[in-house]
Each structure stands twice: as C-alpha cells, then as structure tokens.
Structure 1
Amino acid sequence: MAARLPVTVLSGFTGAGKTTVLHHLAAQSGARVAVLDSRSDLLAEVERLAQAGQHDFVLIEAAATDEPIGIAEGFAFEDQHGEPGGQAPGVAHLDTLVTVVDASRFLRDFHDADFLSARGLAEADDDRTVVDVLIDQVEVCDVIVINKIDLVDAGQLGRLHVVLRALNPRAELVDASHGNVPAGRVLGTGRFDIDATPNAAGWQAALQGDAVPDAAGVSTLVYRRRRPFHPQRFADLIHTDWMREHGDVLRSRGLFWLASRMDIAGDWAQAGGVCRPGAAGAWWAAIDAGEWPSEGLARAAIEADLLEDGLPAEYGDRRQELVLVGLDLDAGALLERLDTCLLTDDEMAAGPDAWATYPDPFPDWGDAFDDVHDHDHDHGGGHERAHDHDHDDSDGPCGCGHAH
C-alpha cells in the first residue's frame, strides 16, 4: 500500500506572515508541495491529490481567524457515528499543525482586548476577540513559527519564547525572518498526535498534575477549594487588576462555584487581556444519578469528583478548580486574593437558602441547566471542553476588567 500523503495545516493571525512562509515552502523546499485554501472542500481535494500521486506534501493555508483544530477534525477525528470523517484519512494523514506568530506584535495583541469586529475581521455573530483567536491557534498546534524576529531585539524575543512555552509547552518553536523556514521543521514532521496535540496547553498540563517544562520566570498555580465564592466579592475582585498586581497571569482556565448558583458550574476562561466568565453546565451533584454515565472512566471520574479526602463531599462535585499560568507569579498573594472571595465560616453555616439571596451581579446564565444533558464540559479533572464561544457576553463581570 502506498504511503499516505502528509498534510500540514498552516495557521496564523493577520499580518503574521503566514502567506510568506507558505510561498517560501512551496518555492524552495525542493519537494512537490500542493497548496490548498481552507475554504475549499479539503477532504475531497486532498483525496484527489493523493490519488494523483504527483505531490509529496499538502499544505493547507487557514484563514486568519480559523482555529486549526477545526480543520484538523476533518482528518483526525471520528464523527459521531464512530466512522472516519470522509475518505481522505485512508489516503492522507494530518502530519503537523503549524501556527505562525508575528514576533513584533504577538505580545501587544495578546494583552489587548480588541474584538475582531473592531478590526474589520469578524463575520456576522462572531463575538471573538483577537486574543481568543491567538490562544486557539497557539495552544493547539505542534509547531510555532516565530516570524519577523528581525524586528525585535534579543530580550523581546527571549520573553516571547517564555510566553509561548508557557502557553504550549509541547510545541516546537522555530525562529524565522521573512518567512524563511526550513521545510523539515514543518513538513513531514510526524508531530501531530490525536491525543496530545489538542491537549497541549500549559494550563491543561498543570491541572492534570503533569510536569510543565521549566522556563525562566514561568509559574503555574492550581487553586482548588470546596467552598463557594460570595458572588459580590468575586465580582469585585475580578473588576480589579488582580491578575497584574502579583505577576503577569497569561492564561487561566477552570471551573468556579458561586454560592448563589448551586446548580450551574461557572466556566472561567482568561487569556491575556480578555476574560470570559460564563456557564459551563450543571454540576453532577445537581443531576439525578440515573442520568450519569453508567460505567467506565467517565463514571469513575464523576464519583471521584464527589469525594473530598476520600469521603463524600458535603456539596458533591461543586468546587473551585482554577489554573493560573503566568510570569513571576506570587502564588501566596494570588491564593489570598481568591480566598477572600470564599464564604466565611458564618456564611457557610447559613446554608444554601441564605446564599441564594446574596447580591449576584453576574449576567444571567439563562437556560444553562436545560442544556445539561449535553454535558459539554469535562468534570473529570481535565476541563477539555472546546472553547466554542457560547458564553454570555452581556454586560457584566469581566474576568480582568477588559473585554466582556
């Protein structure tokens, strides 16, 4: 049987130099490279190229705001019926997800809070920000090409390396000027892994207890508590600059529990200057046990979440479980700031009926409980729910005082 045609997906935000990288690879790699646009019928086009046998590699150029994992799913993930997504996987394989970043702009854009619409890059109903796109492209890739290094000094480049390594410890970093990237670093690398690539983010490694590669100044903090936040105190905190006062929190993810909302888990998602507090779905303790998965790892994970120190937790799986990844973090100070938002002993003693009356300035999470049967967040400790932008971005608390 002939070898399957390797496919590389090339992503990158506007101005990163993605097209320049592509032209360099196509013209100077010495290999026969077919270039496809992500808007084409990719599976059909790749299958046609593979059967023609006239190319060594396929290079897919993603649009500026595309999420690479969305393209990857067509090649590497099974559909809901457990069948390969089309015929292309039989004749081709996803080899590498590559993201190109602009060395001179990435950190500025990452800490900004601009919506795509403000830059004329959003289609209808797309409420994402620039950093939403950057984080989706950087966290889920195998190789990060740092382009335009000629526009920054050694110190700036070093800091960018540290930030990117904190966001995606698994990715290989490749420095480049004018899109000049050695073909072997992005074509035929074999680096894509169906399990590892989509779960390569630094926050995921920290949450799962995996060792995060050492990088100068990079800190990770996992915050776990079995006590709810007072909604007003937590809202007050996240309207301050608390994530910049004790180091620089680059990325934070996880679940949070508001005393006033006993049934719904809060979904915390922050990257750079943008935060997205919203609804993650129902706590398992709020769902009849007859509707839980009946067996296997999913059931075992739920049962483990219902325990605290080996004993049944008073309020089931309800908890705070946040991961903060950043530079030079003062862990003690950050823990203290979060702890001040927890209910006091007297407030805990008052019980859920009293908690329901507490001032709660967070936006309404609507019919989140009606959607619990979808179980679109992971309660097994991994929090692997895709960032699908189903948050409520009505006026309300924003995680870091910027976009909401």
Structure 2
Amino acid sequence: MPSRVSSKKAAKKASLPPKALPVTLLSGFLGSGKTTLLQNILKTDHGMKIAVIVNDIGAINVDASLINKTHRLTQTQEKVIALQNGCICCTLRGDLLEELVRLSELQEFDYVIVESSGISEPEQVAETFDARLADTMSMVADGPEGLDPGVRKALKIIKNAGGLERLAKLDTTVTVIDAFTLFHDFDTDDMLSSRRDDVMPEDERTVSDLMVDQIEFADVIVLNKTDMVDADMRKRTLQLVKRLNHRARILETNYGKIDVREILNTGLFNLERAQTGYGWLQDLHAMTLRQVNGKNVVTPKPETEEYDVQNFVYTQRRPFHPRRLYTLLYDKFILQLEHPDDGEEEEEEGTGMSDASDDTEMEDDIEAEEDDEEEDDDEPINDAPPDNSIILANKRNDPLFRRLFRSKGEFFLATRPQQAGEWSQAGAMLTMTGGRPWFCTLPEEDYLTGDAEIDRLVKHDLASGGEWGDRRQEIVFIGESLDVKALEAVLNGCLLDDDEYVQWEAIMRGKFGKKGSKSKRKKAVDPAHLQEALQDLFEDGFPDWPLPNEVLTVDHAGHSHA
C-alpha cells in the first residue's frame, strides 16, 4: 500500500512541467496594429513554439495553412470569477486559467501569448497570475456550486500543483500604440462604446483613460505606424511615451513587424512594481528620496527636458479651497466625480455621533466667523459644467492646460481633512475621487509596511508636515512646453489664503470663538462635526466621498490595492 501511494505521488509530480510556461500579455487599442503583430508571429518561422490565446479568432483572419506548424491559435470565451474576499477589483479569468492548464499539460509549447481585449485594463488580466491569490483560488476550487465545471477542474489542478506559478507565470506585458493617433486620443471625449459595440456598462470609460493605463502598465511598448508621422512628431511621441512609463522598453516599428524575442521570455514583469512604478510615480519617489537623503535637488533630470515634453511635481502643504479649485477646473476638464447612492449618507449621519447641544455650541461658536462670508452666499454661482464640446474647445485654447496630457497624485481639500483626494487626468478627462485616509489620522500599525525604506519615507512625509502630518498637495503633471510658474500660480490661487488658513487651523485645533477673542477654548471634535464646521466656513460643492475606512485596502487576502 505505501508503495502504491508513493507511486501516485511520483506520477503527480512527473505531470508537472519542468518549468512554468512564460506568458506575454498583449494589449492595445482597436486599430493600433495588435492584430497585425499577432498575424506576423503566427506566420513566421522563428524557431520557437508559441501558443497564442485570443478573444476572437475571426479577427486574426489567418488561414490555417499559413500558421507555422510549431504554433497554436486558440480562442477563449470569457469566464470571470469574482473573488469573495472583500476586494471588489479582484477577478480571475477562468477561461484563461483553463487554457493555461491545458497548454501546461500538453508540454508542447515554449511560450504563450495572451491577447487582452481592447477594452480591458491589462492589470485586470495580470491579477490572475498574482501568486498572493493562491489561497483564495484554492478556496474557490472547493466551491461554489454554480462554478463552471471546466474552471473548477482547472482550479483543482492548480491547487494540486502548488499554485499557478508552477504551471505558468506572467513574464512580460506589452502594449501596442498607434503613433499616428496617440495625440488625438489625448484630445478627445470619446467613450469606449463610441469605438466598439461590445462594451459592457461596467467596462465603460474614456478612450484616454484606458490608453494611459495600457501604456503605464507595460514592460514593452510597441510604437507602431511610425512611417505615418514625420520626424518631429515621432520625437514628440517617443518622449511622451517615455514620460508616461520610464521603465518600459520601446520598440519602433511599422506593420507590426518586430523580433518576437523582444517580447518573449524577457523576465521584465513584476506585478508590485507595475502597480506602483509608473513614470509619474517614479518622478515623485525620486523627489522624495532626494529630500530624505538631505539633498535639495527636486527638479527633473536634465534629459527629461528633451523635445519640450516635461513634467513637474506640484507640492504644497496648505489645503485647497474647494470652490476655487472647482471654478478653475470645471470648464476646462470633463470632470469625473463620485456618485454615491442618494440618501444613505444623510440617514447615517443623524445617528449618535454627539449630542445636539454640541452641534448648537459649534454653530454658535463659528457664527461670527461666518459673517464675513455671507455676502458670497447671496451671489448665485453658475457652476454647471458646459457641454463637452465647449470644455474641449476651452482646454485647447487655454495657454496653461492645452498641452497637458497627464497628471496624477493626491490633493487636499480644506473641508475634508481626514481623507486624501485622488487626482487622475488623461487628456480632457479629470477624475477626482476620495482616496485613502491621511496617515496622520491613523495609528502606526495601520500604515507601516515593515519595509524599512518605505516606512522611512512615510515617516519623513509625516514629520515634514509638522502639526498637520502628511496632508498635502502632491500631483505630477506631464505635458509639452508647460509654463510651470504660471501653472503653479493658478494652483496656488486655489489654496486657502492667510486669513482663511488661520480660521482653518483654529477649527482643526478645536478652538472656537469670536475672532480676536483672548478666551478661546479647546475641545476634542468628532471628525464628522469637524468636517461639517469646515464646510460651513468654506463652500464645498464636491459630491460626498466614501468614508476613508471604505477606501483604504491594506490587505486583501494577502495582497494590496492601496
């Protein structure tokens, strides 16, 4: 009996491939040349055995007789598994797992290329390979009852093998970019559904948003159709792509012709680095590191100024006045803001934070400070965004924003001192939503990572902010011929002025009373009431954000999306 058990174990081990199949994930917009690139790979005899997994075989349109005999072309029907681990963004591509298990069992191929659909973020597919999801995948394999049988079988094989990384590993992410249309796609309000007829409501987003995601996540960027642009445009395009993703290798080509070895088995992919190592964030980290190391060099390196494509990091410790910030932006960018469910917040706010006498006391205490603001309340403000066509025209004609392609970072509103705002702009689209809690509002154990270097940077940010901790404006801007001083000036004009800042600090410290009074009292203020007092003082027309504890996702089944 023992010998039979040991022989079964040996057979199971023998069925595992000698090494995991290296997988290349290929992304790109419709019309970028992604399909042509795949056709070239399938028809070329390059001495490698490659399996290609696509979404639509018909779109590839390669005669079976022309496909090199060492290759294999298969199509999958998407089967998405939502992971029940409290993290809404984690989904597994069950169809992809099935095919990868099948190819691993065949042991006939050296490499796999997976075509990402033209409407999906590459990160969503890449998460399927995240080794940190192994435990969750094992749990899914044992349930639920409605799971597709083929997917269940694949998950059990993966579980028995010791994880997907024993069968297949994501090795390289590639994005194909159309050099001819790149700048146009930064200057459009097109939604994905305007260019494709297979976009589901949950996948709807702007063309510029998805394009930026695909560029920033890539290890290798294939800049296609370079013969359709002149030398100057080619230089501009190259520099912008380098700006958006410092770490990516860039291959220039026409008709999708590349040496396939440039995108296979490169060993470049690292999920954690890809999620946090975008070009704009690298600049931010470099600046912070130079500050920590005691150097005053916070400007970009000289080589980044080539061809007038540049970036700069806007940093300020004072908060923005919400009304002035909105007034600056609403008619120059198509704003994507939070849309919380109506009524939920109001119902919850009335329950037991503090008694009614505290509310009355706070209102009485700041009444004198509000007198100076009342004349502004009497003036009607027309803040309804104009039509998108007008916003696009305004941005194109604005001397500061017309050549601003990308910006991303965190912003700090005077009325929301507990929570950072997330700022992400691509072309004409600007998304402004609620983000993480400021670390200074949390106990150390909630934000320290255990990584000495990262924790040193976090502690530096907290200490350098003094009384108000890590609260700050920190946004990276990328564009052509940016007037940095003028851009800084208009943003600084949205900050609280000196008088407003004095009032803000008084409320933050829990001190209330008539201006100039020597007898001020201090008391602990509930965060909800603090925000209410600040919003009474500074008009805030932004939609409500999810509560900070709903946004901070420190650990989801062993992996982070923070």
Q: Does TM, scored on the shorter chain, surpass 0.5?
A: yes
Cα 1:292/1:198, change in 2 over 3 Å:
closer
Cα deviation per residue 1:326-380 (whole Å; 9 max; x = unaligned)? Answer: 2222221111111111111111111246642222222222x3335155359xxxx
Which residue pairs with 1:270 in the alignment?
425
Say whether 1:245 aligns with 2:399.
yes
Shift of 1:246: 3.2
Instruction: Please give the residue correspondences for 1:76-225 in structure 2 after superposition, counting only pairs within 5 Å.
Output: 76-79=130-133, 81=135, 86=158, 87-119=163-195, 120-209=197-286, 214=304, 215-225=306-316
3-state DSSP class of the match of 1:277? strand
State the AA in 1 paired with 2:496. L
Of 267-276 and 110-119, deviating more is 110-119
- What TM-score results when the alignment is normalised by the length of structure 1? 0.83
Match of 1:292 among 423, 437, 446: 446
Native 8 Å contact 1:44 1:88 kept in 2: no
1:231 aligns with 2:384: no
Q: Is the 8 A contact 1:149 1:177 kept in 2?
A: yes
Q: 1:46 aligns with which of 100, 103, 125?
A: 100
Question: How many angstroms apart in 1 are the aligned matches of 2:316 and 2:108?
Answer: 58
Q: 2:535 aligns with which of 332, 345, 356?
A: 356
**Partner deviation per Cα, 1:290-312 (whole Å, 9 max, x = no partner):** 7734773476655433222xxx6
Return the letter of the residue paired with 1:25.
Answer: I
Q: Give me the whole-angstrom Cα distance separating, in 2, the residues matched to 1:339 and 1:266.
A: 17
Paired residue type of 1:368? L
- Structure 2 runs not aligned, ≥5 long: 1-16, 56-77, 79-93, 139-154, 288-299, 334-394, 508-529
SS at match of 1:51: helix
Corresponding residue for residue 305 of structure 1: 461
Q: Indicate whether 1:58 and 2:212 are aligned.
A: no
Of 332-341 and 186-195, more deviation after overlay is shown by 186-195
Query: One-letter code of the match for 2:182?
Result: F
Q: State the one-letter code of the partner of 1:148.
A: K
Gaps of 5+ in 1: 377-383, 387-404
Structure 1 residue 46 displacement after superposition: 1.8
* TM-align CA RMSD: 2.8
CA contact (8 A) 2:226 2:252 kept: yes
> Does the Cα contact within 8 Å between 1:6 and 1:92 map onto a contact in 2?
yes
What is the CA deviation profile of residues 379-398 of structure 1, one whole-angstrom value per residue up to 9, with x for unaligned ones?
A: xxxxx967xxxxxxxxxxxx
SS in 2 for 1:224: strand
What is the percentage of aligned positions where both structures have the same residue?
36
Deviation (angstroms), 1:158: 2.0
- Show CA shifts across 1:40-84 (max 9, x none): 622332232133221121110110011112222222441184989
1:9–1:68 CA contact under 8 A, matched in 2: yes
SS state of the match for residue 192, structure 1? coil
TM-fit CA distance, 1:283? 2.2
Cα distance between partner residues in 1 of 2:499 and 2:26: 55
Return the offset for 1:198.
Answer: 3.2
Matches within 5 A, 1:298-337: 302-308=458-464, 313-337=466-490
- The 1:100–1:79 alpha-carbon spacing in structure 2 relative to 1, beyond 3 Å, is same
- Distance in 1 (alpha carbons) for counterparts of 2:325 and 2:124: 34
Asked if 2 retains the 8 angstrom alpha-carbon contact of 1:24 and 1:180, the reply is yes
CA contact (8 A) 2:409 2:476 kept: yes
* Distance verdict in 2 for CA 1:291–1:175, change over 3 Å: closer
Distance 2:308 2:45 in 1: 37
Which of residues 35, 44, 62 is equivalent to 2:52?
A: 35
Q: Say if 1:53 and 1:291 are closer, same or farther in 2 by CA, change over 3 A.
A: closer
Distance in 2 (CA, whole Å) between partners of 1:60 and 1:187 is 11
Q: Once the two structures are superposed, what CA deviation does each residue of 1:149-201 show, in whole Å capped at 9, x if it has no partner?
A: 23222222222111111111111111222221221221222222344333332
Q: Is the 8 A contact 1:141 1:198 kept in 2?
A: no
> Measured at CA, do residues 49 and 137 of structure 1 come closer, stay the same or move farther in structure 2, by a change above 3 Å?
same
Q: How far, CA to CA, are the matches of 2:271 and 2:539 in structure 1?
A: 44
Deviations 1:212-257 (A, max 9, x none): 6634323221122111111111111113549852372221111111
Determine if contact 1:75/1:88 at 8 Å carries over to the other structure.
yes
Q: CA deviation at 1:127?
A: 3.7
> Which residue of the partner structure matches residue 258 of structure 1?
413
What is the CA distance between 1:121 and its match in structure 2?
4.8
Q: Helix, strand or coil for the counterpart of 1:117?
A: helix
1:26 to partner: Cα distance:
1.7
Contact 1:246 1:329 in 2 (8 A): yes
Say if 1:183 and 1:373 are closer, same or farther in 2 by CA, change over 3 A: closer
Instruction: Judge conservation of contact 2:19–2:166 (CA < 8 Å) in 1.
Output: no
Distance, in Å, in 1 between the alignment partners of 2:204 and 2:190 is 10
Indicate which of 124, 128, 139 corresponds to 1:70: 124
Counterpart Cα distance in 1 of 2:41 and 2:262: 11
Deviates more, 1:128-137 or 1:88-97: 88-97
Count of aligned pairs:
374
Q: So what's the TM-score if we normalise by structure 2? A: 0.61
Q: What corresponds to 2:34 in structure 1?
A: 18
> Over alpha carbons, which structure has the higher Rg?
2
